[in-house]
């Protein structure tokens, strides 16, 4: 956990340092490009649907079902103009996946800190309503994972640790709508969609630890809806 906090802090310091290089002194106290405010902060809640593409250690394909989880976090952005910007986010996601394997009902629970860095394209960042498209790479840091197994009648449930890698890498994309809540358009209500396609096999190689469950191959795909507020400075 200390490593995760340290990494996340360094990430945001890197973004802020990049902004300080690109932004002139005293910029926070004045506006550029007409009424455009360059720096943006926000907070979001993200109901998340996850789907794990998996194979068992015996090589069989797992038939899984889409499961609802959640995510919360914040974002920081820099707008180069009314139409183009860059944004970084730090999101905490709790994901789960149900599937059947060897006549057992299994459920994977994985918690991630996700850090996407994306280019944003906007119709008009200074308008009362703004439509945006975002895309870019995303790093995921595993904050804990487990798997529970039970018989078909729901009895004899057992929970063990699942062998997954500490990090994940994927491609994030999405679209959103922003609605201005004040006259200066600096406080905005934010809704939208976010998808992430995992590009890595997150399963570890087989372990000799009997208390740890292994799967042969797994990558994660998520789709989220988000609600939040952003503030322009």
pTM exceeds 0.75, yes or no: yes
- Give residue 31's pLDDT: 46
Q: How far apart are CA 208 and CA 41, in angstroms?
A: 46
State residue 106's pLDDT score. Answer: 80
The pLDDT value given to residue 191:
97
CATH number for the domain running over 2-232 = 2.40.160.20
Report the pLDDT value the prediction gives residue 150, as an integer from 0 to 100: 81
Parallel, antiparallel, or unpaired for β 187-198 and 217-232?
A: antiparallel
Distance CA 147, CA 124 (A): 45
| pLDDT for residue 153 | 62
Report d(CA 89, CA 128) in Å as an integer: 23
Torsion of CA 229, 45, 38, 129, to 10 degrees: -50
- Positive or negative torsion for Cα 15, 16, 19, 20: negative
Beta strands in the chain (DSSP E): 39-55, 64-65, 67-79, 84-101, 104-122, 129-150, 158-162, 167-180, 187-198, 212-213, 217-232
For residue 7, the surrounding DSSP H or E stretch is helix 2-22
Instruction: Choose among 142, 156, 140, 21: nearest CA to 89.
Output: 140
* HSE toward the beta carbon, residue 132, CA cutoff 13 A: 32
4: Cβ–Cβ under 8 A, 6 or more apart, which residues? Answer: 113, 141, 143
Predicted confidence pLDDT, tens digits, the chain (233 residues): 455 445 555 555 555 555 445 445 444 434 445 567 899 999 999 999 988 877 765 566 666 677 889 999 999 999 999 999 999 999 999 988 887 776 777 888 889 999 999 999 999 999 999 999 999 999 999 998 888 878 766 556 677 777 788 899 999 999 999 999 999 999 999 999 999 999 998 887 655 555 566 676 788 899 999 999 999 98
Distance CA 90, CA 112 (A): 10
| Residue boundaries of the structural domains of the chain | 2-232
């Amino acid at each position: 956990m200390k490593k995760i906090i340290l990494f996340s802090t360094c990430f945001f310091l890197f973004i802020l340092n990049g902004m300080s290089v690109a932004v002139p002194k005293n910029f926070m106290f004045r506006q550029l490009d007409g009424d455009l405010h360059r720096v943006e902060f926000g907070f979001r809640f993200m109901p998340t649907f996850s789907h794990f593409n998996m194979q068992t250690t015996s090589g069989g394909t797992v038939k899984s079902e889409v499961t609802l989880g959640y995510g919360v976090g914040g974002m920081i952005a820099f707008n180069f103009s009314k139409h183009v910007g860059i944004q970084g986010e730090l999101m905490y996601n709790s994901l789960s996946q149900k599937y059947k394997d060897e006549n057992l009902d299994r459920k994977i629970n994985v918690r991630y800190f996700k850090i996407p860095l994306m280019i944003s394209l906007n119709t008009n960042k200074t308008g009362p309503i703004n439509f945006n498209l975002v895309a870019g790479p995303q790093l995921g840091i595993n904050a804990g994972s487990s798997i529970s197994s039970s018989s078909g009648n729901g009895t004899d449930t057992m929970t063990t640790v699942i062998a997954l890698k500490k990090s994940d890498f994927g491609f994030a994309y999405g679209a959103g709508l922003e609605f201005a809540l004040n006259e200066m358009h600096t406080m905005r209500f934010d809704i939208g969609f976010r998808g992430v396609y995992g590009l890595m096999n997150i399963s570890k190689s087989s372990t000799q630890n009997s208390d740890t469950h292994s799967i042969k191959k797994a990558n994660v795909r998520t789709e989220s809806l988000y609600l939040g507020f952003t503030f322009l400075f």
